[in-house]
Amino acid sequence: MSRTPFLAGNWKMYKTGAEAVSFIEAAKPLLAGVSGRQAAVAVPFTAIAEAAKAAQGSGVLIGAQNVYWEKEGAYTGEISVGMLKAAGASFVILGHSERRQFFGDTDEWVARKLQAALEGSLVPVVCVGESLAQREANETFAVLGAQLKGSLAGLTADKAATLVVAYEPVWAIGTGKTATAAQAQEVHAFLRGELRNLLGDKAAAETRILYGGSVKPDNVKSLMSEPDIDGALVGGAALKPDSFAQIVKFDV
Site string for ligand PGA, 155-174 (x = CB under 6 A): -------------x----xx
Binding ligand PGA (rule: CB under 6 A), the pick from 94, 179, 191, 234 is 234
Choosing from 50, 98, 130, 168, the catalytic residue is 168
Q: CA dist 74 to 26, 77, 83, 85, Å?
A: 39, 9, 15, 20
The verdict on 24 binding ligand PGA (CB under 6 A) reads no
**Three-state SS for 44?**
coil
> Each residue of 152-165: b (16+ CB within 10 Å) or e?
beebeeeebebbbb
Question: Is 70 a residue of the active site?
Answer: no
Binding span for ligand PGA by CB under 6 A among 54-62, 72-80, 187-195, 227-235: 227-235
Residue nearest to ligand PGA (CB): 235
For the chain, state the CA radius of gyration.
Answer: 17
Binding span for ligand PGA by CB under 6 A among 53-61, 139-147, 217-225, 235-243: 235-243
Question: Is 96 a residue of the active site?
Answer: yes
Tell me if 155 sits within 8 A of 114, measured CB to CB. yes
Measured CA to CA, the distance from residue 236 to residue 141 in angstroms comes to 27
215: left (phi over 0), alpha (psi -120 to 50) or beta: beta
Residue of 34, 32, 42 whose CA lies nearest to 4 = 34
The verdict on 235 binding ligand PGA (CB under 6 A) reads yes
Binding ligand PGA (rule: CB under 6 A), the pick from 236, 245, 246, 250 is 236
Cα torsion 191, 167, 107, 84 to 10°: value is -120
The verdict on 219 binding ligand PGA (CB under 6 A) reads no
Site string for ligand PGA, 174-213 (x = CB under 6 A): x-------------------------------------xx
Measured CA to CA, the distance from residue 243 to residue 250 in angstroms comes to 10
Choosing from 50, 96, 98, 194, the catalytic residue is 96
CB of 164 to ligand PGA, least distance (A): 13
Cβ distance to ligand PGA smaller for residue 84 or 239:
239
Binding ligand PGA (rule: CB under 6 A), the pick from 185, 214, 243, 246 is 214
Q: CA dist 168 to 85, 186, 210, Å?
A: 26, 13, 8
CB of 174 to ligand PGA, least distance (A): 4
Residues touching ligand PGA, count (CB under 6 A)? 13
Please, what is the end-to-end C-alpha distance for the chain in angstroms? Answer: 22
CB of 193 to ligand PGA, least distance (A): 23
Give the binding site for ligand PGA (CB under 6 A).
10, 168, 173-174, 212-215, 233-237
Q: Which residues are catalytic?
A: 96, 168
